[in-house]
Amino acid sequence: MYTFSNKLKTFSIILVILGALGVGYGFMTSHKSFEEVEHLLAEEAHHGGGHGEEVHAAAGHDAHANNSHAADTHDDNSHGEEAHAGVDEHTKHIEHVQHQIANRPWAALYVAAFFFMMIALGCLAFYAIQIASQAGWSPVLFRVMEGITAYLLPGAVIVLLIAIASGTIGHYNIFIWMDPDVVAHDKLIQGKSGWLNLPGFAIRGAIFIAGWSFYRYISRKYSRKLEDGEDKGTFKKLFKWSAGFLVFFIYTESMMSWDWIMSVDPHWFSTLFGWYVFASMFVSGITVIALISIYLKSRGHLEFVNENHLHDVAKFMFAFSIFWTYLWFSQFMLIWYSNIPEEVTYFVTRFQDYKLPFLGMVVLNFVFPILMLMNADYKRIPWFVVMTGLVILFGHYIDVFNMIMPATVGDRWFIGIPEIGSILLFAGLFIFIVFTALAKAPLLVKGYPFRKESEEFHY
């Protein structure tokens, strides 16, 4: 049995407290009055002196407001078909920026919450695949996976609550389609309101979470039951539930990605988006399995895990990093190539305002892992896998960041206190819940039929 070390427990609690302070600070400082924003913009215009920024300040408000309309950010006022003749463009611009600034702590919180939730969900899918495919190498890692998936229920509930709260207590800070005022002026969102409405969103979210958590509960139950002795019946039930879950998962994951991520840009749609989000969560989940098993092994808790298991996990990290890139590029290239205005705005905003994170994540998620993990010997060196794993995780945080931020804060993004605070908050929570779950059961699945094969696994 593993016991949650006090050091790690304290560490996770410190992370939560620091993170909560950062998040609190983010919310405290995000409410700017109209005059403050006006002052801020005027100051920004002066800073750029000589670079044509003054032109922007003097005459560019109009152009900017139109840009952001095209870019599909939360420009409440410039949506809609009717012309707002006589409305002061300056006021509209200030209000637009004011809303973006107010969105930032919400979006930062949402990105971090989703990121840690998707690690647990990706891990659960990986776990189900390992059981359904009757893999012979991975059973020694099942308890690590079960530990990670313990975060799924609280994590997913938090994501859903933040999403709903942003449209009820918040001022429609993440999803503009929750704002009845926007919908009233927007024919496109009106056409989608059969799917995009708050009760439907909440009910679908509840169904997704209930289904995932039910599988996690039942698989954990049978996995614990196997400890009493190798029982074919229990294994068969576990197998059937896993296969069934995978069917349920691929539908709900796809719909979840439309609801929780794609609908931040309600004017935009992409067909392979669900797969793309899946690839991101899958590779993050596998990476966290590698990191936690390396940590536990270094503490002497997983003597039955050897470098061959590490090699296999690292191969999955490598392969799914490439798979992610394949989907990322397929989505990007198809839209870039055909250049249809209603689709391409999604990437135009990202290219204009998010160049570094947008292109940087391809380096982090593709170039780095492909070079680091190609060599078979490197995949067997723990510190090497840890280093690459941390880069991959950071890259996939940026991936989620790139999916949410352009639609909520637009060009007002920065990775500062609200973002880092949110990461720390959920990282602390994640560590706390995962390691508490790890301490609840022996780290080896005793009665699992493939346990022996897995213990002797050798590549």
Partner 1 sequence: MEASKVIHAIYTDDDVLMSAVKKVKAEKHHIEEIYTPFPVHGLDKAMGLAPTRIAITAFMYGLVGLTVAIVMMNFIMIKDWPQNIGGKPSFSYLENMPAFVPIMFELTVFFAAHLMVITFYLRSRMWPFKKAENPDPRTTDDHFLMEVAVHGNESELQNLLAETGAVEINLVDKEAH
> Where along the sequence are the contacts to partner 1 (CB under 8 A)?
329, 332-333, 336-337, 339, 374, 376
Residue 148 and residue 292 in contact, taking contact as beta carbons nearer than 8 Å: yes
Q: Which of 302, 15, 33, 252 is nearest to 143 (CA)?
A: 302
Smallest gap from Cβ 136 to partner 1, in A, equals 16
Q: Which of 70, 76, 41 is nearest to 56 (CA)?
A: 41
Smallest gap from Cβ 156 to partner 1, in A, equals 35
- Burial pattern 301-340, b for ≥16 Cβ within 10 A else e, equals bbebbbbebbbbbbebbbebbbbbbebbeebbeebeeeee
Smallest gap from Cβ 404 to partner 1, in A, equals 24
* Residue among 337 and 383 whose Cβ is closer to partner 1: 337
Distances from the Cα of 246 to the Cα of 130, 133, 402, angstroms: 11, 11, 28
**CA 404, CA 196: separation in Å to the nearest integer?**
17
Q: Dihedral of the CA atoms 308, 313, 315, 318 (nearest 10)?
A: -150
* Residue among 164 and 335 whose Cβ is closer to partner 1: 335
Q: Which two tokens stand for residue 395?
A: 């890259």
Smallest gap from Cβ 373 to partner 1, in A, equals 13
Judged on CB neighbours under 10 Å (0-12, 13-18, 19+), 34 is exposed
* Residue among 87 and 370 whose Cβ is closer to partner 1: 370
Indicate the angle between helix axes 89-132 and 34-47, nearest 10 degrees: 90
**CA 286, CA 123: separation in Å to the nearest integer?**
6
**CA 37, CA 43: separation in Å to the nearest integer?**
10
* Residue among 284 and 331 whose Cβ is closer to partner 1: 331
* Residue among 55 and 367 whose Cβ is closer to partner 1: 367
* Residue among 210 and 376 whose Cβ is closer to partner 1: 376
Smallest gap from Cβ 71 to partner 1, in A, equals 20
Residues shown for the chain = 459
* Residue among 87 and 333 whose Cβ is closer to partner 1: 333
Smallest gap from Cβ 339 to partner 1, in A, equals 7
**CA 264, CA 175: separation in Å to the nearest integer?**
5
Smallest gap from Cβ 377 to partner 1, in A, equals 10
* Residue among 332 and 397 whose Cβ is closer to partner 1: 332
Smallest gap from Cβ 457 to partner 1, in A, equals 14
Say which residues have a Cβ less than 8 Å from residue 75's Cβ, sequence separation at least 6. Answer: 65, 68, 69, 92, 96
Smallest gap from Cβ 63 to partner 1, in A, equals 23
Distances from the Cα of 30 to the Cα of 103, 105, 173, 294, angstroms: 8, 7, 11, 40
* Residue among 212 and 366 whose Cβ is closer to partner 1: 366
**CA 396, CA 388: separation in Å to the nearest integer?**
12
Helix (H) or strand (E) holding 446: none
* Residue among 62 and 456 whose Cβ is closer to partner 1: 456
Smallest gap from Cβ 313 to partner 1, in A, equals 20
Smallest gap from Cβ 105 to partner 1, in A, equals 35
Helix (H) or strand (E) holding 128: helix 89-132
* Residue among 91 and 375 whose Cβ is closer to partner 1: 375
